């Protein structure tokens, strides 16, 4: 392979749309690139999440074996580029218990960069980080946590508590500084949405694909959108209720099911 493109997030920056696009178009991309996604990376993501929460390097002791297994499962050929897209490689989304920022990201990406430089020393290695404006990121993260955990903060309280985590451009700079000469670039969600093929197309444009391949890529609809106000208010009410954790989670799961929350809407 000649190129490895690592897209590790950030969370809530169109990552689900990008990953759905890559998987949906994997046959079209196959002559040139192979996607490596969460389905391949679950053990590595579990390590990254533990590290983001506790900061213990011992939690990353098996990261090489985990990455080897992920690459083996994806089965890239010698003539294919690799494009990895998985925000879980940065650990938990800030706002998760014990995680208030992306402070673990430079170390996690240093480990991953070292892995690829060791395994594929002749390949071009690039990191692309996707970002969005702080206010919309904070609100998107807030809605995500309302669904995923027993968060009882209001939107304003969440934004005030995690305001520093919303400054993703600062995290981009910290990561670039930690990685020295490694190519690190960023794409803002507002720019990616303007691409004719959406965020996934914007990422694929970095691969220098032949024009005929790009013309054959199919757009995907919007997916994994956060709940609308009426729904996230119901989640907040359930989180603040007297229900035990299991009952509250079951009620939220039923709400998500009946409203098709996170479902993909085709273009």
Kindly report, residue by residue over 51-78, the tens digit of the pLDDT. 999 999 999 999 999 999 999 999 999 9
Q: Measuring CA to CA, how many Å separate 240 from each of 149, 187, 244, 245?
A: 11, 37, 10, 10
User: What is the rounded average pLDDT of the residues 169-185?
Assistant: 97
Cβ atoms of residues 8 and 126 within 8 Å: no
What does the H/E/C string look like for the chain?
CCEEEEECCCCCCCHHHHHHHHHHCHHHHCCCEEEECHHHHHHHHHHHHHHHHHCCHHHHCCHHHHHHHHHHHHCCCCCCEEEEECHHHHCCCECECCCCCCCCHHHHHHHHHHHHHHHCCCCEEEEEEEECCHHHHHHHHHHHHHHHCCCCCCHHHHHHHCHHHHCHHHHHHHHHHHHCCCEEEEEEHHHHHCCCCHHHHHHHHHHCCCHHHHHHCCCCCECCCCCCHHHHHHHHHHHCCCCCHHHHHHHHHHHHHHCCCCCCECC
The first and second tokens of residue 57, run together, are 């390097």
pLDDT classification of 227: cutoffs 50, 70, 90 = low
User: What is the rounded average pLDDT of the residues 197-210?
Assistant: 95
Judging by DSSP bridges, how do beta strands 81-85 and 124-131 pair with one another? unpaired
pLDDT classification of 259: cutoffs 50, 70, 90 = confident
**pLDDT by residue (tens digit) across 89-104?**
999 999 999 999 999 9
User: What is the rounded average pLDDT of the residues 243-258?
Assistant: 94
- The pLDDT, as a whole number, for residue 224 is 56
What is the C-alpha end-to-end distance of the chain, expressed in Å?
33
Residues sharing a CB contact under 8 Å with residue 147, sequence separation 6 or more, in sequence order: 227, 232, 235, 252, 256, 261
Cα-based torsion angle of the residue sequence 156, 191, 18, 110 in order, rounded to the nearest 10 degrees: -80
* Residue 156: pLDDT over 80: yes
Place of tokens 């303007």: 194
Among 161, 146, 159, CA closest to 230: 146
pLDDT classification of 222: cutoffs 50, 70, 90 = low
Beta bridge partners of 35: 83
Mean confidence (pLDDT) of the chain: 94
Domain boundaries, the chain: 3-221
What CATH number belongs to 3-221?
Answer: 3.40.50
Portion of the chain with pLDDT greater than 90, in percent: 89
pLDDT classification of 223: cutoffs 50, 70, 90 = low
- The pLDDT, as a whole number, for residue 118 is 96
Q: Measuring CA to CA, how many Å separate 77 from each of 65, 72, 80, 131?
A: 19, 10, 5, 31
User: What is the rounded average pLDDT of the residues 248-266?
Assistant: 80
- The pLDDT, as a whole number, for residue 56 is 97
pLDDT classification of 209: cutoffs 50, 70, 90 = very high
Among 7, 19, 8, 10, CA closest to 224: 19
Cα angle: 93, vertex 87, 65; to 5 degrees: 115
The first and second tokens of residue 212, run together, are 């005929």
Q: Which of 154-158, 181-185, 259-263 has the least mean pLDDT? A: 259-263
pLDDT classification of 226: cutoffs 50, 70, 90 = low
Rounded to whole angstroms, the Cα distance separating 29 from 37 reads 14
- The pLDDT, as a whole number, for residue 208 is 87
């Amino acid at each position: 392979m000649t190129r490895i493109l690592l897209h590790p997030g950030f969370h809530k920056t169109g990552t689900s749309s990008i990953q759905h696009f890559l998987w949906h178009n994997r046959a079209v991309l196959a002559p040139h690139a192979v996607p490596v996604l969460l389905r391949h990376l679950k053990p590595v993501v579990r390590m990254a999440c533990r590290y983001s929460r506790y900061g213990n390097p011992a939690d990353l002791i098996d990261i090489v074996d985990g990455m080897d297994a992920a690459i083996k499962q994806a089965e890239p050929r010698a003539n294919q580029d690799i494009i990895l897209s998985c925000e879980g490689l940065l650990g938990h989304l800030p706002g998760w218990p014990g995680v208030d920022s992306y402070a673990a990201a430079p170390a996690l990406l240093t480990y991953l960069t070292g892995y690829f430089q060791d395994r594929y020393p002749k390949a071009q290695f690039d990191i692309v980080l996707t970002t969005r404006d702080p206010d919309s990121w904070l609100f998107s993260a807030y809605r995500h946590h309302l669904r995923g955990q027993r968060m009882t903060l209001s939107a304003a309280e969440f934004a005030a508590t995690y305001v520093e985590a919303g400054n993703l451009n600062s995290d981009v700079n910290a990561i670039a500084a930690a990685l020295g000469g490694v190519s690190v670039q960023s794409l803002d969600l507002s720019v990616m949405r303007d691409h004719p093929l959406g965020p996934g197309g914007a990422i694929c444009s970095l691969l220098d694909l032949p024009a005929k391949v790009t013309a054959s890529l199919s757009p995907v609809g919007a997916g994994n959108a956060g709940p609308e106000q009426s729904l996230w208010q119901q989640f907040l009410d359930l989180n603040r209720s007297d229900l035990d954790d299991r009952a509250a989670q079951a009620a939220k799961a039923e709400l998500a099911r009946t409203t098709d929350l996170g479902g993909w809407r085709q273009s």
